[in-house]
Amino acid sequence: MAKRQYPGNAHGMVTGIGLVNLVHSSGEAGDFLPLAYRVYASDDDELTKNDHFLAMFEQVVAEGQVLARPLLFDSWYAGSTNLKRIHRAGWAFFTTLKSNRLVNRAKESGYQGLATLGPPAPGWSQGVEIRLKEVPFAVKRFKLVATNGDIEWVMTKHLAAHLPREMVIEAVEVRWQVEEFHRSFKQLTGAEKCQCRNANAQRNHLTCCYRAWVSLRQHARRLGQTTYQAHQQQRRPYLCQLLRNLLIQALS
C-alpha cells in the first residue's frame, strides 16, 4: 500500500501509506478524537481522497451521533461535489481556497480568479459574500494574513451578517488539530514501524494503532495529562521498580 506522495509537512516526495482522517474536536486545545479513517490506496480500489472524504462524511451523517455541525477541511477537499453534499446535509463548513478558484461577486462581473478580486469597501474584517463556479449557494470569503506575510483565503457557508473575523481565525486554528493528531499518532503508536508486506496485515496494524491511540487519549484524559505525558507515565512505575531493585548489582 505504500506509494510516493507529497505530505505538506515534508515539503517533498516521500514513500508511505496515505491516510484520510475524520477527527472530532471540542474546540479546546488538545481535545480531539478520530472518528473514522480510510487508507488511500488508489491502485487497489481506484478511490480518490475525495471519495474517502465523502464516504466518512456520509457515515457520520447516517449515524447521527455527532452534535458538532461545522466541518473544517483544507482546499484539497473543497471541490464543488463535496461542498454541495455538505450543504444538502445542513452542515456549515470552513475551508480554504486556492487562489485560482473561479468566483464572482455579482452576475454582471462574471467569474474570475479568486486572487484578482479586489477588497470590499469595508475591508476584509467582515468578509465578502461570493459565489463559486458550479456551487449553487453563496459563501463568505475572508482574507487572513499571517505575521510572515503568507495569505490564506478562508471560505465558509456561515453567512451571518456579523460573523466576526475572530471566529474565522479560531476555526482555522482548530482545523490544525488534525495535524496534531497525525503527529502524535505516528510518534506514540508505532504506526510507521510496521514491517509487514501484506496489505491486510498492514491494515490490521493501523487498526491496532488507532485503537491504541484512542485508549491512550482516554487514559490521559482521566489523569488530566496530555497524551505525551500519559505515554511517558506508562514506563515510570517499571523504571522506579528497577531503580529500587537492581537486577544487576554494581561492582564495589
- What does the pLDDT look like over 29-64, one tens digit per residue? 888 999 999 999 888 889 999 999 999 999 999 998
| Grid cell for residue 13 | 516526495
165 or 176, greater pLDDT: 176
Residue 206: its pLDDT value, please?
A: 93
161 or 32, greater pLDDT: 32
Q: What is the mean pLDDT of the chain?
A: 85
pLDDT band at 204 (very low <50, low <70, confident <90, very high): very high
Q: CB–CB of 185/208 below 8 Å?
A: no
Domains of the chain, by residue range, sit at: 3-229
Q: CB–CB of 77/116 below 8 Å?
A: no
pLDDT > 60? residue 70:
yes
108 or 71, greater pLDDT: 71
Surface-to-core class of residue 228, CB atoms within 10 Å of its CB (0-12 exposed, 13-18 middle, 19+ buried): middle
| Grid cell for residue 221 | 484524559
Most confident range, picked from 76-90, 143-157, 230-244: 76-90
pLDDT band at 1 (very low <50, low <70, confident <90, very high): low
Residue 150: its pLDDT value, please?
A: 82
- Extended beta strands in the chain, E state: 3-5, 14-16, 18-25, 32-40, 70-73, 92-97, 102-104, 112-113, 128-132, 138-145, 151-156
Residue 209: its pLDDT value, please?
A: 94
Sign of CA dihedral 206, 41, 64, 164: positive
pLDDT > 90? residue 113:
no
| Grid cell for residue 127 | 468578509
pLDDT > 80? residue 221:
yes
Centre a 10 Å sphere on the Cβ of residue 221 and count the other Cβ atoms it contains.
Answer: 15
What integer is the mean pLDDT of 119-132?
78
pLDDT band at 94 (very low <50, low <70, confident <90, very high): very high
CATH 3.40.1350 fits 3-229, yes or no: no
Q: What is the DSSP letter of 249?
A: P
Q: CB–CB of 38/55 below 8 Å?
A: yes
| Percent above pLDDT 70 for the chain | 88
- Give the three-class secondary structure for 248: coil
Distance from C-alpha of 66 to C-alpha of 88, rounded to nearest angstrom: 17
What b/e string do you get for 140-179 counting C-beta neighbours within 10 Å, with b at 16 or more?
bbbbeeeeeeeeebbbbbbeeeeeebebbeebbebbebbe
Residue 35: its pLDDT value, please?
A: 93
pLDDT > 70? residue 10:
no
252 or 177, greater pLDDT: 177
Distance from C-alpha of 24 to C-alpha of 30, rounded to nearest angstrom: 11
What integer is the mean pLDDT of 72-82?
92
Most confident range, picked from 122-131, 140-149, 188-197, 243-252: 188-197
Q: CB–CB of 22/37 below 8 Å?
A: yes
pTM (2 d.p.): 0.82
pLDDT > 60? residue 100:
yes
